[in-house]
């Protein structure tokens, strides 16, 4: 599945190729997020135009609505969504655990209240794998327990790791005993900022003959230096032949940092989420297009961008659309932001291939300015 094409000499960055039953994509790569089976503001035709290689969909949300049965009877998730590239389905562990007081965990599974109708739902790790097999995902993920932040106690993190390992075993066992038709199985690494927990978790899940490694429980509130330390530790420890997927990450400078530490794959709501609130990505950083400097700005969002939006529309027009609440504004900004993210990561990939990744990173960080108040 994963083939390393090139390893950087100065950093842990690498270029690879990954094959699923639906497509082959090269890494580093980013997947936009289609939580409920759609990217907010983009059609699959847009994704195709942009050249998106894969998306992340949330199996937990689909379980609640429209229900797995509906998608199954419509021929699976690819057919349902009209998307023929790689789909990763997240188990929803992160979402369920965000419910806090509305859920109860046991080794057998998770009990929670549906946010739709308040109904109590009990899901086992097996249920969640079954759902992903039923909808014919490309990459299935097991239920995991995610704890996070700076303040996390070791004891709590240990308990979560133990449960995550246990559930990964149950899940993989269930997966192996069923007809999976080319579906791949990734396991999720937990352990917060504690290197011994990460090590333990890694060793256990690698025993399961998995197809890829998800790095979970990071970027959930911990300090950045702790994050990069533990990320570096993980990437050094993990067999290099596993694709490394950093879940739910990040801003462009953060992504470059993670690529340099050896991460291959990202999913990321940032280009779509910021698009909805009126922030655009440019080579010089993020700009809040709603703001007054852009009122008569005839330039495209990013003058060096070749996307449909930059070739056809001005900042002034997009600012107007966002300001009057026209959904086309969100559609155009999201299109550009996703295009820009892909282009940015493609450039990082090319830099690795051409032995100039560190130089690229340095130059990028010297010109890129994050917007402080981007809401």
Minimum CB separation of residue 341 from a copy of itself in Å reads 19
Cα angle for residues 333, 368, 302 (degrees, 5° grid): 35
Question: Which one of 138, 144, 211, 267 is the catalytic residue?
Answer: 267
Choice between 192 and 337, CB closer to a copy of itself: 337
User: By the criterion CB under 8 A, which residues form the site for a copy of itself?
Assistant: 36-45, 61, 65-66, 69-70, 73-75, 80-82, 295-296, 298, 308, 312-314, 316-317, 319-321, 323-324, 326-332
Contact (Cβ atoms closer than 8 angstroms) between residue 86 and residue 53: yes
Choice between 61 and 227, CB closer to a copy of itself: 61
Minimum CB separation of residue 178 from a copy of itself in Å reads 23
User: Omega before 250 cis (within 30°)?
Assistant: yes
Minimum CB separation of residue 248 from a copy of itself in Å reads 20
Minimum CB separation of residue 303 from a copy of itself in Å reads 16
Contact (Cβ atoms closer than 8 angstroms) between residue 62 and residue 70: no
What is the distance between the alpha carbons of residues 112 and 119, in angstroms, rounded to a whole number? 8
Would you tell me how many other CB atoms lie within 10 Å of the CB of residue 281?
28
Minimum CB separation of residue 48 from a copy of itself in Å reads 11
Choice between 84 and 367, CB closer to a copy of itself: 84
Choice between 39 and 352, CB closer to a copy of itself: 39
Using DSSP bridges, classify how beta strands 86-90 and 54-58 pair: parallel, antiparallel or unpaired. Answer: parallel
Known catalytic membership, residue 267: yes
Taking alpha carbons only, the member of 11, 10, 28, 9 closest to residue 347 is 28
Choice between 335 and 357, CB closer to a copy of itself: 335
Dihedral pair phi/psi, residue 2, rounded to 5°: -105, 130
Choice between 5 and 328, CB closer to a copy of itself: 328
Longest dimension (CA), the chain: 62
Choice between 19 and 36, CB closer to a copy of itself: 36
Question: Which one of 90, 144, 211, 264 is the catalytic residue?
Answer: 90
Known catalytic membership, residue 283: no
Minimum CB separation of residue 329 from a copy of itself in Å reads 8
Minimum CB separation of residue 328 from a copy of itself in Å reads 4
- Catalytic residue annotation: 90, 267
């Amino acid at each position: 599945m994963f083939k390393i094409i090139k390893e950087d000499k100065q950093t842990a960055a690498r270029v690879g190729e990954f094959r699923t039953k639906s497509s082959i994509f090269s890494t580093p790569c980013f997947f936009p997020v289609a939580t409920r089976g759609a990217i907010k503001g983009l059609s699959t035709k847009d994704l195709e135009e942009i050249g998106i290689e894969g998306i992340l969909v949330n199996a937990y949300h689909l379980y609640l609505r429209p229900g797995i049965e509906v998608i199954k009877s419509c021929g699976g998730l690819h057919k349902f969504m009209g998307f023929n590239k790689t789909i990763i389905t997240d188990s929803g562990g992160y979402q369920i655990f965000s419910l806090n007081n509305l859920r109860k965990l046991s080794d057998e599974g998770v009990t929670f209240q549906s946010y739709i109708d308040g109904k109590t739902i009990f899901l086992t790790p097996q249920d969640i794998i079954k759902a992903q097999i039923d909808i014919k995902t490309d990459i299935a993920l097991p239920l995991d327990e995610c704890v996070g932040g700076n303040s996390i106690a070791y004891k709590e993190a240990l308990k979560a790791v133990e449960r995550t390992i246990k559930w990964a075993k149950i899940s993989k066992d269930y997966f192996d005993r069923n007809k999976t038709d080319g579906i791949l199985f990734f396991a999720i690494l937990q352990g917060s900022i504690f290197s011994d927990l990460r090590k333990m978790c890694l060793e256990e899940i690698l025993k399961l003959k998995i197809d890829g490694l998800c790095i979970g429980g990071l970027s959930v509130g911990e300090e950045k230096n702790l994050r990069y330390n533990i990320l570096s530790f993980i990437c050094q420890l993990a067999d290099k032949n596993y694709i490394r997927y950093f879940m739910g990450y990040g801003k462009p400078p953060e992504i470059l940092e993670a690529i340099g530490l050896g991460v291959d794959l990202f999913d990321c709501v940032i280009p779509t989420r910021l698009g909805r609130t009126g922030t655009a990505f440019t080579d010089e950083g993020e700009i809040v297009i709603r703001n007054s400097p852009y009122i008569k700005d005839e330039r495209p969002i990013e003058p060096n961008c070749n996307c449909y939006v930059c070739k056809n529309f001005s900042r002034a027009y997009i600012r107007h659309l966002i300001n009057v609440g026209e959904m086309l504004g969100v559609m155009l900004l999201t299109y550009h932001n996703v295009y820009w993210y892909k282009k940015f990561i493609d450039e990082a990939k090319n830099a690795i291939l051409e032995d100039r990744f560190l130089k690229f990173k340095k130059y990028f960080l010297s010109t890129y300015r994050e917007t402080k108040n981007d809401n």
